[in-house]
Amino acid sequence: MNAVLTVLAVSLLASPPPAPKAQVQSPASPLSHPVIGPGGSANVEPPGPPPTAEALIKWGNEIGALLLKGDTDGVALRFAPSLVAILPPWRFGQGWHGIEDRNGRLRSVGDPELKTSTREPAVVVPLQLERNEWRALLVFNSLGQLTTIRFAPATMAPALPLAADWVAPAYVNPKKFRDVDVRLGYSPWVLLGALSLPAGKGPFPAVVLVHGSGPNDQDETVGAVKPFRDLAWGLASQGIAVLRYEKRTRTYGEKMSKLPVTVKEEVIDDAVAGVDFLLENDAVDKTRIVVLGHSLGGTLAPRIAAAAKGKVAGVVVMAGPTRSIADVVEEQTAYLVAVGAATEEAVAPMRAEARKIRAIDPKKPPEGMLLNAPAGYWIDLASYDAAATARKNGLPILILQGDRDYMVTAKDLEGWKKALDGASFARFQTFPEANHLFVNGQGKSMPSEYQMAGNVSGQVVDVIAEWVKGLPAGK
């Protein structure tokens, strides 16, 4: 999911979900040993009884005191190994400083409040910043280590710990494929990933999955949902090889934070490297390699195909914006206020930064970050017309949109349709019950959906599989 869209959806910074207690190497074989995270720490929470109410209050006060002193390193020292693995200390510090940049310095910390309605005992700590009041939600293990730390304005509840872990959907058949751990990319940006290979000799049509912006893992995990694992295993169950990989900004985030990054470095180069990786695999039909992008990855999919220079047979766009980021932010924030998921005060900083992005003069770009990216990032993105590029490419393209998606909406779909009007190579399909992650639901889509376990709709997987397998095989 686009990093900007993620922030708007859940009003969180530096707040990934806790790592699952068991990682899956392949559909049929859970790991029998701990997964090793950064620094060689095993992602296994220490055993023991749940913390007492007195301990939670004490620990909440300690974390609040560290934040009040600006000691983000001290807070990070309290992270459990599983949290370190998905939230490195530097990224946590960057996220917290981003909150203070928008809301002023932390001036006082309130008394911690117990939260017993969650799956694990938690504590909520009020945080009074100069311009706004926020809340921190903290979950500790029995040793007083943080397994979850999340932030949100006081007008919005911090996202709660997951209600359930990810479960493979019914459309996944583990007997029909296997996952192979891989490395791809070019030095110094080599990435870890997984290739889901169908059973048999092949050659198989293949898909490269491209995330939106932000430090996504190879499953594009959002809350309790893993869209890319669903897609990879669902498509592989139907005879399509699927490549997914860790995002460069996730693996090399600290290094990249010091560079003038655009979408080329963030997304495009590694997606093209993924295409090259598939071309070298004898199990892959080299004439049927498809780029599938979600959210911002969908917007960039035609640009990736163009950069691959004839190596791509088709493009799949899942909820890809065609409008400017300023327009998208304005619509999202208006929706959140209208449905009661946020107040005008809570979304005002986002809107202000969106206006600054719209006003950027490419000849005199401002310094600093806007919506967590430098001005050059937005200048580059503004110069790119996704739908027009798709038209120019002339490649088969499948564009999918969820009707319940408030993050990328029918207005963006219309942008694709207008540019591709009359193009025989373009196909469009909407899904009435799907949200931005293509998980089905009922009623108005809300930010809280992303914290509930769910899977990509089987209908979505079927449509993609049919389309990919229908591409003409070359010689």
The residue from 217, 270, 405, 412 that is catalytic is: 405
The residue from 213, 412, 436, 445 that is catalytic is: 436
The residue among 164, 133, 168, 173 whose CA lies nearest residue 151 is 133
The secondary structure of residue 34, as a DSSP letter, is P
Give one word for 292, left, alpha or beta, with left for phi > 0 and alpha for psi -120 to 50. Answer: beta
CA dihedral 200→201→207→213, nearest 10 degrees, is 80
Where are the extended beta strands (E) located within 240-396? 241-245, 284-294, 314-318, 369-370, 373-374
Q: How many CA atoms lie within 13 A of 319 on its CB side?
A: 26
Angle CA(360)–CA(366)–CA(367) in degrees, nearest 5? 150
The residue among 278, 279, 284 whose CA lies nearest residue 203 is 284
146, containing H or E segment: strand 146-153
The residue among 240, 241, 244 whose CA lies nearest residue 216 is 244
Q: Residue 120 is which amino acid? A: E
The residue from 11, 213, 295, 457 that is catalytic is: 295
Residues facing 284 on adjacent strands: 204
Answer yes or no: 436 catalytic.
yes
| 177 within 8 A of 243, measured Cβ to Cβ | no
Answer yes or no: 405 catalytic.
yes
Answer yes or no: 213 catalytic.
no
Q: Give the span between the Cα atoms of 454 and 226, in whole angstroms.
A: 8
The residues that are catalytic are 295, 405, 436
